[in-house]
C-alpha cells in the first residue's frame, strides 16, 4: 500500500502490464529523456505500471528483463506528482522495486535484481532498498533484500 502524504492514509495499489497506449498518460512532466516506447520493441522486456486501485492514473512505471540469474531493471520512474517534498504518495519506487524482486522470484532468479544507478542516488538505493554497488554505477539487490521489499510492500 502507498501512503497518501496529505492524510497518512494507506492506499491499495495494483501493478499491471503497461500497454503502448498507456504512454500517452505519461506526459507532461515525466522525465523527457526516458523513452518508454523503446521497451515495447523488445519482446523480452516487461513493462509495468503501478496505479492506485480504482484509478486510471499511472503513479510509476518499470521496465525489466529476466537475464537468467537476475532481473535487470532497464528503467524505473515515479510520476511527476510523486516526486520531491510535495509527492502525493510515498513509497511508489519501493513498490516497483519490490515488484521487480517478486518477478525475479517468479522467473527463477531468486529475487536478485540489477540496475545502473545515477551516481547521486547510489547511497539512497543502498539505504532504502538494500542495494549493493558492484562498480561505478552498477548495483544489485540481493535475494534477502528483495524478499524484505516483497514482505514490506507487497504483502
Residue 8 has pLDDT above 80, yes or no: yes
Per-residue pLDDT tens digits for 57-108: 999 999 999 999 999 999 999 999 999 888 999 999 999 999 999 999 999 9
Per-residue pLDDT tens digits for 103-146: 999 999 999 999 999 888 999 999 999 999 998 999 999 999 99
Per-residue pLDDT tens digits for 16-70: 999 999 998 887 778 878 899 999 999 999 999 999 999 999 999 999 999 999 9
> Nearest to residue 109, comparing CAs of 147, 148, 67, 70?
70
CATH topology for 2-154 is: Aminopeptidase (3.40.630)
SS (H, E, C) 18-70: CCHHHHHHHCCCCCCCCCHHHHHHCCCEEEEEEEECCCCCEEEEEEEEECCCC
- By residue count, the chain amounts to 155
Task: Break the chain into its structural domains and give their ranges.
Answer: 2-154
Q: Which residues pair with 11 in a beta bridge?
A: 2
pTM above 0.85, yes or no: yes
Amino acid at each position: 500500500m502507498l501512503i497518501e502524504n496529505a492524510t497518512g492514509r494507506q492506499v491499495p495499489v495494483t501493478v499491471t502490464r503497461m500497454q503502448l497506449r498507456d504512454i500517452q498518460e505519461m506526459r507532461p512532466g515525466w522525465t523527457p529523456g526516458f523513452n518508454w516506447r523503446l521497451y515495447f520493441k523488445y519482446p523480452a522486456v516487461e513493462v509495468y505500471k503501478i496505479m492506485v486501485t480504482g484509478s486510471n492514473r499511472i503513479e510509476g512505471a518499470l521496465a525489466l528483463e529476466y537475464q537468467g540469474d537476475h532481473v535487470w531493471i532497464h528503467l524505473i520512474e515515479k510520476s511527476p506528482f510523486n516526486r520531491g517534498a510535495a509527492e502525493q504518495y510515498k513509497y511508489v519506487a519501493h513498490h516497483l522495486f519490490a515488484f521487480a524482486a517478486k518477478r525475479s522470484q517468479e522467473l527463477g532468479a531468486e529475487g536478485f535484481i540489477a540496475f545502473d544507478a545515477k551516481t547521486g542516488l547510489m547511497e539512497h538505493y543502498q539505504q532504502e532498498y538494500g542495494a549493493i554497488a558492484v562498480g561505478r554505477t552498477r548495483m544489485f539487490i540481493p535475494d534477502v533484500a528483495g524478499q524484505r521489499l516483497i514482505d514490506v510492500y507487497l504483502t
